[in-house]
Amino acid sequence: MTTLNISMEYHPHRPYWDYVPVPVEVINARMEVEDELVIRGRGYVNLPPGFYLVRATLPSGEVSTAHTTIQPGEESAEVLIKTSTSPHEWMAWQHFLGETPSSEAEAALPAFWLRLWANTDGSWKTIPTTEWLDYTNTDDPNFALCEVRPWQREKPALRMLQVGGDELPWRLISLPPTDRMVQALLRRSRTPTSLNGGVVVKVVSQDHDAESLSHYLRVGSYETASKVGAQVMARVEFETAPTLEFANALPEDQAERLLRDKLHNPYGALVGGYFLLKTGAYERLHNWPNNFANWFRWLPDAAMIHAWQLFGQSGLTELETARKRLLQAAGAGLPIFTDGMRYLIDGLELCLNAARQVERADEAVQDALRQARRYAGAMDWNQRLLTFYGADPSSPSLEAVTGAPADPSRLR
């Protein structure tokens, strides 16, 4: 057998190769999958002599291939997988995830400003720019990249980035709940509308595992996502789940301190939970979604994942518990993901229909559903992270709002 060493082509501006999981298939001359693995920059397989095609699938949907012939008697062989390059090195991570355009933008971005909102104590407030804006790059008139500082571990909160301008309708985007840097890329839209002003805002974090899995799911590559998902779920099952379980045995103040110190990045758990829901792997969820929803009550998606675990495993037999979780999610605020809003509305409709079947009114569910639909009507459903148009996080609207607020961070 010969050791085939597989490497992703190195670029100085792609230092994340060693951290990003990429599924690879090794296909023999009979077009059969000889082996498959997930590599992080590099990996290897042991193979008999012959011709092989090596195929890597990226989160963007790009498929990169390379081929090699292993000769009899060779101890080792090398194969290098090359991928497309980003328009700018500072956009490399977004390009890898598929968030950059496939061709050159035809027009420069309009002038824009940014604001950051945080939901603290049940109300939305703007955060001074000096406390959150870390870096901006507007060298290319066709693009703008802004970096948002990680959240404060001691003050976890839902956050939304607002973007607007004199010619750019105001919109808000949910930010990932993570202790990693978050980047927002503004670029021209492939499908310009009067509401988006011909501009889209693509937000990604530096959580490489979670972002990779989330984008594989986004492009509908469930088989590929399953290969990456195994590694993401290993982190959840061996880090997050035991921590949540241990917290249950502690007094509340000690539990909160433990979770603040040990579980300061729930983003991976959210992505992993949605992955298991989408693939129907309910048995792997075990009890951690219940603990997750208990200890992260401010995070709507956590309650949503538990609700849909109950629906998936028990149908309507656990309806009342699922209903409470959905109302918890609706009361906490807005989901992080667009899919979260789908799950919220679908779940509330299930509860409402169940109430109607027994001729019972459920005003709490009706109110929550009415509120969710307010946002649904103003959302951009094509975006991965929840995005809607409006003057502030409490005012979704399909009526375009333009101009500048009193406290913007004007970048261009």
What angle separates helix 338-357 from helix 319-332, to the nearest 10 degrees?
140
Annotated domain spans of the chain = 2-81, 89-208+396-410, 210-389
User: What length is written for the chain?
Assistant: 412
Structural tokens at position 39: 């590599």
Structural tokens at position 70: 């292993």
Residue carrying structure tokens 């990996």 = 43
Per-residue pLDDT of the chain (412 residues; tens, 9 = 90+): 899 999 988 666 555 667 788 999 999 999 999 999 988 889 999 999 999 999 999 988 889 999 999 999 999 999 999 988 888 888 888 988 888 875 555 678 899 999 999 997 788 999 999 999 988 887 888 889 999 998 776 677 899 999 999 999 999 999 999 888 999 999 988 888 888 999 999 999 998 888 988 998 887 777 778 878 776 676 666 566 566 665 565 555 554 554 454 465 688 888 888 988 888 888 777 788 888 898 888 999 999 999 999 998 887 788 999 999 999 999 999 999 999 999 999 999 999 999 999 989 899 999 999 999 999 999 999 999 999 999 999 999 999 999 988 766 555 5
CATH of domain 2-81: 2.60.40.10
User: Cβ neighbours of residue 233 under 8 Å, at least 6 residues apart?
Assistant: 272, 275, 276, 284
Q: What is the pLDDT of residue 354?
A: 93
| Helix residue ranges per DSSP H, 98-221 | 208-218
Element (H, E) at 146: strand 143-148
Under a CB-based contact definition with an 8 Å cutoff, are residues 22 and 40 in contact?
A: yes
83 vs 97: CA distance, rounded Å? 12
User: Cβ neighbours of residue 158 under 8 Å, at least 6 residues apart?
Assistant: 118, 119, 174, 177, 298, 299, 300, 332, 333, 334, 336
Identity (one letter) of the amino acid at 72? P
Q: What is the pLDDT of residue 14?
A: 59
Q: Classify 210-389 by CATH class.
A: mainly alpha
Q: What is the pLDDT of residue 258?
A: 47
Residue carrying structure tokens 């301008």 = 165
List beta partners, residue 50.
70
